[in-house]
A and B are shown apart, each in its own frame.
Chain A
Amino acid sequence: QVQLVESGGGVVQPGRSLRLSCAASGFTFRSYAMHWVRQSPGKGLEWVAVISYDGSDDYYAESVKGRFTISRDNSKSTLSLQMDRLRTEDTAVYYCARDLDNTGYYYRYFDYWGQGTLVTVSS
């Protein structure tokens, strides 16, 4: 069965960095675009970033562009999110999510989600 397991969350001071990981199993990871979506009490659900099936292409929300970097290792079925220059408004539960389409196309609906990892940015 499809499993996505995030890790790496925690408490960090504003301006510092954090790296999230998502371990995927139960499907052909290299065939799917993958996303990060976050959820905070104040802003609800917010799409953060997407990476193509082969890692050659990515897109970001304006709120994180230039600070966050999405990457993947298809040999290890792992998705990552490097978060630099963190702000208090980045506080949220971060989910990795699989794209609905298995042909490498960005369908941009999310059919499987991890359990989420909490990132708290606070001094």
Chain B
Amino acid sequence: EIVLTQSPATLSLSPGERATLSCRASQSVSNYLAWYQQKPGQAPRLLIYDTSNRATGIPARFSGSGSGTDFTLTISSLEPEDSAVYYCQQRSNWPPDTFGGGTKVEI
């Protein structure tokens, strides 16, 4: 099973700042990595799939990069509504597809 490790656990930033979230895989997942946003009391929302493809309706301030074992989600200019927990997920080697433990972004 591939383990995904996210860092930092918590990120505290101000509106307009740039957020950089990291996801590291225990072995290569090629480019088969997604990012989700989850707000309190809500289900996760798909932001990015296959490393860098934005899902339908996702603002351009969200971008993804990386390959192999190291991936990054960047939020270029934080909005107050971006406060949430962000999870990465891999689909390279299954079953199972696995998720990271999450990064909480506080604004």
Across-interface contacts of B49 in A (CB, < 8 A): 100, 109
Task: Other than A47-B97, A109-B91, give 5 A-B pairs with Cβ distance below 8 A.
Answer: A45-B89, A45-B99, A46-B96, A100-B55, A113-B45
Question: Assuming the A-B contacts A109-B49, A111-B46, A116-B43, are A44 and B95 also in contact, with contact meaning beta carbons closer than 8 angstroms in the complex?
Answer: no
Chain B count of residues within 8 A CB distance of the other chain: 23
How many angstroms from the CA of A111 to the CA of B97 in the assembled complex?
15
Chain B residues in contact with chain A, CB under 8 A?
34, 36, 42-46, 49-50, 55-56, 87, 89, 91, 94-102
Across-interface contacts of A44 in B (CB, < 8 A): 87, 99-102
Chain A count of residues within 8 A CB distance of the other chain: 19
How many angstroms from the CA of A110 to the CA of B88 in the assembled complex?
12
24 pairs from A and B in contact (CB 8 Å cutoff) = A44-B99, A46-B99, A47-B95, A47-B96, A47-B97, A47-B98, A60-B95, A61-B95, A61-B96, A95-B43, A95-B44, A100-B49, A108-B91, A109-B46, A109-B49, A109-B50, A109-B89, A109-B91, A110-B44, A111-B55, A113-B43, A113-B44, A115-B42, A115-B43
Nearest neighbor of B98 in chain A, beta-carbon distance = A47
